[in-house]
Amino acid sequence: MRCPYCGNDDTQVKDSRPTEDSNAIRRRRVCNGCGGRFTTFERVQLRDLVVVKKSGRKVPFEREKLTRSVMTALRKREVDPEAAERMISGVVRQLESLGDVEVSSDQIGDYVMEGLKGLDDVAFVRFASVYKNFSSAEDFEAFLRQMDEGRSAVVKDDV
């Protein structure tokens, strides 16, 4: 494994353990060149997914890109990193279980929105603002109104 700090290929595993949900192995590594320490994750990958963009262009699925977008939505929110990682793993498992190698960017966005809704409301709205391409304050207001109406319907059904 290449060191992210100095690029040295000579790194050593110091500690390995399963993640909380046992869907990955977490490895603590140290670089024999610069002494830098970093963490890697080893996960099962069932198939190589291809994302079909709205333009029709096809690109390989990148878990790292999904993780970056979720972490951007969660920035400065008090959400357990393990819970965020479980949500991301759940999205990837849903995508892999669709049975098709090609998945639309809309499908990915919908799964992420559903995951964030259960994790953090503010992150959910942040992600929605980019995913749904909000262009004005009115877009936010309409979206929040729609969220409130959905919650009101659930509360009325429970009563």
Bridge partners for 27 per DSSP:
16, 40
Q: What is the pLDDT confidence band of residue 142, given thresholds at 50, 70 and 90?
A: confident
Which pLDDT score, from 0 to 100, does residue 149 have?
75
The SS3 call for residue 46 is: coil
Residue 141 CA to residue 156 CA, distance in Å, equals 22
Q: What is the pLDDT confidence band of residue 159, given thresholds at 50, 70 and 90?
A: very low
pTM score of the predicted model: 0.66
* 8 Å CB contact between 34 and 3: yes
pLDDT, one tens digit per residue, over 47-81 is: 689 999 989 999 999 999 999 999 999 999 999 98
